Chains A and B, each alone.
Chain A
Amino acid sequence: GAGVSQSPSNKVTEKGKDVELRCDPISGHTALYWYRQSLGQGLEFLIYFQGNSAPDKSGLPSDRFSAERTGGSVSTLTIQRTQQEDSAVYLCASSFRDSGAKNIQYFGAGTRLSVL
């Protein structure tokens, strides 16, 4: 596709369940980022991938959160044993490369996660 694609667009789950969120970056983009947008916290960085490696995982809030990227393309963010405070919109972004003067991140529409 032409843009960053995220699925599902909405996810409702019960507390304690595991969830997987998927991100398809723009073809050819080597850098991929996950952010979380929640009420009261704004938009927060979670993790950054360059290719399949994650040089910066500093934003992951706990060890219940993990992410992987395979083939330098699709990324999956996994939340184990979900808690109500995990409810938020999870946004994925990609850019052609991380370095460079005009690195622009292109964002997907996000996955709205609701933990009941």
Chain B
Amino acid sequence: KQEVTQIPAALSVPEGENLVLNCSFTDSAIYNLQWFRQDPGKGLTSLLLIQSSQREQTSGRLNASLDKSSGRSTLYIAASQPGDSATYLCAVRGYAGGTSYGKLTFGQGTILTVHP
């Protein structure tokens, strides 16, 4: 059974800092890995999706890396801003038999607070 762990559970930083969120997963047979952002009372917003064959993806100030063999991914946020405050969730999509269903297995999330 796939298990996803995120470290740290919570992080509070001053504005402008560069920061790293960590995600690890136990079964390396994944189809892809996604990083989501969740704001209070709202749904999840997909930030980055990394295919199992890729090493990293970048979008603006965000960079996500994937080391499938070691079961790890990191989300790097450059020059953090108060608007980045949210819960960040890592999710992996695995294989189900011969069909790749879209079922995602999520980590518990990292609650990020960026203060001015």
Contact = CB atoms under 8 A, between A and B. Distances in A.
A45 B45 CA distance: 17
A76 B8 CA distance: 36
Contact of A95 (B36, B99, B102, B109): B102
Chain B residues touching A, range: 20 to 34
A68 to B, nearest CB: 18
Interface in A55-71: 55-56, 58-59
Contacts of A108: 43
B103 A42 contact: no
Interface residues of A, number: 28
Contact of B100 (A98, A106, A107): A98
A75 to B, nearest CB: 14
A102 B33 CA distance: 11
Contacts of A103: 32, 93, 102
A88 to B, nearest CB: 14
Contacts of B51: 101-102
A110 B42 CA distance: 7
Contacts of A26: none
Interface in A37-67: 42-45, 48, 55-56, 58-59
Contacts of A59: 103
A31 interface: yes
A84 to B, nearest CB: 22
10 contacts: A33-B102, A43-B89, A44-B106, A48-B103, A55-B99, A98-B102, A106-B46, A107-B44, A109-B42, A109-B43
Interface of A: 4, 31, 33, 35, 42-45, 48, 55-56, 58-59, 91, 93, 95, 98-99, 101-110
Interface of B: 32, 34, 36, 41-46, 49, 51, 89, 91, 93, 96, 99-109
